[in-house]
Structure formats: C-alpha cells, structure tokens
Amino acid sequence: MIRTILIDDEPLARDIVKYYLADHPEIEVVAECCDGFEGLKAIHMHKPDLIFLDIQMPKISGFEMLELVEDKPAVIFTTAFDEYAIKAFEVNAVDYLLKPIDQLRFDAAIKKLPSRLNQKDNTEAVLAAAALSPAQNNRVVVKKEGVIKIIPTGDINYLEADDDYVKLSTVDGVFYKNKTMNYFEQTLDSNSFIRIHRSYIINLAQVTKIELKEKDSYVVLLKSDIWLPVSKTGYVKLKAALGL
C-alpha cells in the first residue's frame, strides 16, 4: 500500500485527485491539507510515501514547503504553474499534473510511481531549478525551533557560510538555511546583494563604509555595526555595484 497526502488549497482539486485515486486501490489517502503549514505537520505525522502537492498556495508555496521537509517523499505536483517550472519537472523526471487534471494523464503518472518512489535526488534538482525563477527570490522560508518564519530578502543584513548551512543575519535575529552560498548568490537579486567574500554576501542597502585594512585588503561596515572582510574580487564587484 502506498500512503499519500493531498496538499492543495482548492477543495475541488483535492476531490478530483481522490476521485481518480478510486481506480488505484493500492494508494491510500492518509491526510488532506489546505496549505503548506498543514502539509508539513501531516508529513511529519504520517511519513507518507507520496504527496500530491500544489505549488501556488497561500502562506508558503509548495516549493517552500518541500524545502523544509527533511525526509522527502515522492512528489507529484498538481499545478497551474508557469512553463519554466514545467520544463524543470520534465528535465529532472519528477512528475507533474497540469490543472484542470485529465484522468488519462493522471493514470499515466500513477503508472510511473514504482520507478519514482524515493527519488529524493530528483526532487532536490527540481527545487534547485525552480529557485532560479524570479517568483522564488523575494523571500526566504526558514524553520527555527519548530516555528516557520518567512523572511523578506530586504530584511537580510548579510549571509555567512557556516559549515553545511548559511547563516542569515536579519533585523529579527539569526536564522540558518541548509543551502550553499552559491545557491544564494544565484537566487538573490544581484542588484541588492553582492558576494564580497567566499564566506559573505551582503545587502547593499546595509553598507555604510568601506575601509582599507592593510595593503590590498578591505573591510566593509554595515548599519548593524558589523565589520566584514572583502576579498579582492569582492572589492571589485562592490565598487561596481556602488558606482565607485
């Protein structure tokens, strides 16, 4: 038996999936959720093999919810999302169903399940590709002590590499995201964020001063009274960004 959870803010969309699943008795629906917060709780509680996941939902998107799931189940996206995302799914072999969902297309997706269960690597690839979409780069969703927080990128002072995590210093404190500095360098708005060092990315709006520390070595002062090192490459990029 394949245990599944339906995560979609549209009751009709969930009803259609349940109706189509009636022809697939090997799949058991163990929970229904109307947003990403409920979805996270249900995944933690039921540990499903599969989820049907909408992308555009209130509060947090399907992508953002999936980033916070540690042990990711197989995913079939149910979406009216843009062509960019669809191409990402196709390339990375994670299935998707376009709304309104057609039963023949639904049945075809179910037939692929045996070979796609537990394909975490493919799910991660889709998330990485989707993150490059402009719709995904204006906020960061984190989880701290069991609480989910949505951080507008404008509230980030700077980012710092910290082993397998990136530390986000914000107006509301420090948070950690299990991503890489390269990920944030690619996804954050390059007009607002500059990588000044292999270990630091700064919000340009936070810069108050640049000083020469020693020969060919610079530091930058942020509004939060934090001094950060600037590499030679970072200094060139920083000057160009500030029009110096």
Report the number of secondary-structure helices (H) and strands (E) in the chain.
9, 15
Decide if pLDDT at 198 tops 50.
yes
Strand partners, 208: none
CB 240 within 8 Å of CB 232? no
pLDDT tens figures, 36-69? 999 999 999 999 999 999 988 888 888 889 888 8
pLDDT tens figures, 161-182? 999 899 999 999 999 998 899 9
Question: How far is the C-alpha of 90 from the C-alpha of 69, rounded, in Å?
Answer: 22
CB 242 within 8 Å of CB 202? no
Question: How far is the C-alpha of 168 from the C-alpha of 158, rounded, in Å?
Answer: 6
Identify the residue with better confidence: 72 or 91: 72
Decide if pLDDT at 98 tops 50.
yes
**What integer pLDDT is reported at residue 72 of this predicted model?**
84
- Average pLDDT, stretch 113-128? 67
Nearest CA-CA partner of 8 in 18, 147, 140: 18
Tokens representing residue 21 in the block = 């699943």
Residue 81: how many CB atoms within 10 A of its CB? Answer: 23
Q: Is residue 107 very low, low, confident or very high in pLDDT (cuts 50, 70, 90)?
A: very high
Structural domains of the chain sorted by starting position, each given as residue range(s) with its CATH number in brackets: 2-118 (3.40.50.2300), 139-242 (2.40.50.1020)
* Angle (CA) 137 164 59, round 5°: 35
Phi-psi region of 161 (alpha: psi -120 to 50; beta: other; left: phi over 0): beta
- The b/e string for 196-233 (b: 16+ C-beta within 10 A; e otherwise) is bbebbbbbeebbeebeeeeeeebbbebeeeeebebbee
